[in-house]
Structure 1
Amino acid sequence: MRLRLLLAAALAAVTLCRAVPGLAQTDIVEKRIFEAGEHRLRSGATLPGLRIGYQTAGTLNAAGDNAVLVAHFFSGNSHAFGRYAADQPPGYWDAIIGPGKAIDTDRFFVVSSDTLVNLNVRDGRTVTTGPVSVNPATGRNWGTDFPVVSMRDFIEVQKRLLDSLGVKRLALVTGPSMGALQAIEWAAAYPEMIDRVMPVIGTGAVDPWMLNWLDIWEAPIRLDPNWRNGDYYAAGREPPLAGLAAALKIVSVHAQDRPAMARFGRAVPEGQDPARRLGDRFEAERVLDEAAMARARASDANHFLYLTRANQLFLNDYPSTEAALGRSQARWLVIASPTDRVFMLDYNRELLATLQRAGRPAELLEVTGPLGHLNGVVGMAPLADRIRAFLTAP
């Protein structure tokens, strides 16, 4: 049972927090909504109305300089810490964020927000603007008429949120996976505003190899006949759930390491016989198929595609990673999983080397466990003392 929860966590890492022992009870947090009004994107397109959800913990000091921004991973949302109710699961990084923890909310004002085009648009909790939103000019869902957004656009929306909260300076910007990319983008966009950067299971460049992996992630959606080039919101049309579920399954397998599924062996569900019937499945396939379809029903296929494009446009405003990171004035702690199959250890070593060539104080720390890439989402507790030391070092 615990293994099945771990596998489902590849699609919804928040769910995994329920199955991990030793997570401390934390404060109740409130999901809030930031109404930004009209917003101009980096492409020059203008969104007539923008909304994202966010949560905070701790108190902003009078100088506005004790803030920490936590950016979420590809399939995540703002629920990085705390609980929405006493009987609800904690956020994915609850082990390191909270009163007295590594990112101490008795000391820091911690902010975590949903991104634009967030994947979880149908989960009843996430607040985001994207293809599902209604275009006021037409009265219909935007669909793929929604303008392309980049990773830098995520940062500009977060900047508006922080400004509205009175934040003047970030003591730390951090996040896992896509959150790491956002942290790096922040360091390039607003170098004078940031003291420390902690990218976890990230990379300093989305190179051609990773560009093609992102294309593979989204391929099942584009091949699903129900996708209709993104035009599936009208009454009577079915969403491309099969394609979205297949895409989420690809992400799930890519984001894990072999030990996460090893206990399945070659087991088959009762009544199935893959050696005799081509349509029969192995247990490892069945579990991921069911988890992927459940997750697809809470998500949106167009939002998935817009998210992959935002990742492909990481650091798109700069001629190179060196040029982007050369702007940084911060201290860095790069955290990598040595068994990561998405942003492999080599990516993180290259990021560290680029930072060192730029003269930035930086070190590399490893997060270990059986989950590969996802170690950086749910396996951070053992690094608490190192993170605390990073935050208190002069």
Structure 2
Amino acid sequence: MKNKYIPTAFGLYLNYLVHGMGVILISLNMPHLEQQWQTDAAGVSVVISSLGIGRLSLLLLAGMLSDRFGRKPFVYLGMVCYLGFFFGILGSQSIAAAYCFGFLAGMANSFLDSGTYPSLMEAFPSSPSTANILIKAFVSSGQFLLPMIISLLVWADLWFGWSFIIAAGIMLLNGICLFRYPFPTHPGKVVRETLAAEAPVVRTTSQHACSLVDLTSYTLYGYIAMATFYLISQWLAQYGQFVAGMSYTMSIKLLSIYTVGSLLCVVISAVLVRKTVSSTSLLMLYTFISLVALLGVSLYPSPNTVIVFSFVIGFSAAGGVLQLGLTLMAVRFPHAKGKATAIYYSAGSIATFTIPLITARLSQTSIASIMWFDTGIAAVGFLLALFIGYRNRKTRDNLLTEDELDVDGALRRPS
């Protein structure tokens, strides 16, 4: 039978297309906003940082409340906050006001994450990895479309604010349509109502509860996965220009190649996890490819190597591996997926703060040292992925005589 949540899922994905636009709207409109706020690029960068601070400040609380009160209210809270951000940035006349609206966008991201990821896993219990990976595709699509929209506005000599209004319009119309569609019942409510009568629920929860060791490993992996591709997205163009000796125009194109790699990986991963390849295997494979690619480009920083590297690292590090890790972690929190999402992405948010601080110091030595630093991060990530794979295999072996939880191959009975 056709899944009744497919229209709901499309609406949730469309929110992330707008989110993909939202995270780069300020940076792509920086010259106009500098004039509006009477500041310079450094001042606009301060406003951009407010998005990460707003996200981190509320993510854990939003995830826990999502498990208790359901997913739909938090999806709509995120949409409302984003609408406030789009119109607020356009109306703000100072850095202080813009910072507050940037903080609001970070809150919107937290609300959307805490409501969307659990909703998709609950709507598609047989393929949660696929459902989550597709979020990455829509984020990348939004980041691909926005520069085209802004280019058209510049070509037509139109007001830069139309890019904000277009994003807000898409989200507003989506919110109206999404209101009619059903959301899956969050399992926390079901468990509280049936705990006394449904003994299998108690057994399954206890068998798949996340130990402190597993919780730590997944949280660290969330940090490492975010750090690996976040560092690349910030320094790839500079590395191509100043280390590999590429021209400025060619080095900028590296980011487009990187995005193509990530989108291709989303498509391939979505197919693989629905077939025979487990999410755990893909996690280990992609992390290993990232390590090899980073090691290769650090040892041989030629233009051709950097071009190939851009595609490969986009494919392996930015093509949904972060979402794969989250799905595997959520398996261990069967009735607290919102909390799992919050913990995992809080670690990623911390990476977006700490990594720029570290790379700022390394850049004073050389940009090449930044890529070696990322290679070290990828090595730690590969070791963590191996450990996660070992723990999942151990759990699977312990459940050979019981009914196993089969989530996109995360825990599969051997044939």
Structure with higher Rg: it is: 2
More helix by share: 2
User: Do both share a fold (TM > 0.5)?
Assistant: no
Higher RCO, Cα 8 Å, sep 6+ = 2
TM-score scaled by length of structure 2: 0.26
TM-score scaled by length of structure 1: 0.27
